[in-house]
Amino acid sequence: MHGLRHPFSGALYEPEENELVRVTTRAGQIGIYSKDGRRVSGDKIDVDPQMTGWIASKRGVHRMVNTASH
């Protein structure tokens, strides 16, 4: 698991390539959603657009991380 569980629904939100998010419900439904919460493929799930936006956003490298060693 490389994502976050939604605090209310329990759905798992995982980052995918091209700013997409894989959402898996506790019932096993799986859907791929865009950064703004629009369904791209898979099951139609009631997703949280705030979560999809946060999960899909690019992460910067912290200033204290030595990027030469990674």
Cα(57)–Cα(5) distance, integer angstroms: 16
Cα(35)–Cα(65) distance, integer angstroms: 27
The pLDDT assigned to 1 comes to 58
Region for residue 65 given its phi and psi (left: phi exceeds 0; alpha: psi -120 to 50; beta: otherwise): beta
The pLDDT assigned to 69 comes to 64
pLDDT tens digits for 22-68? 999 999 999 999 999 999 999 999 999 999 999 999 877 777 777 67
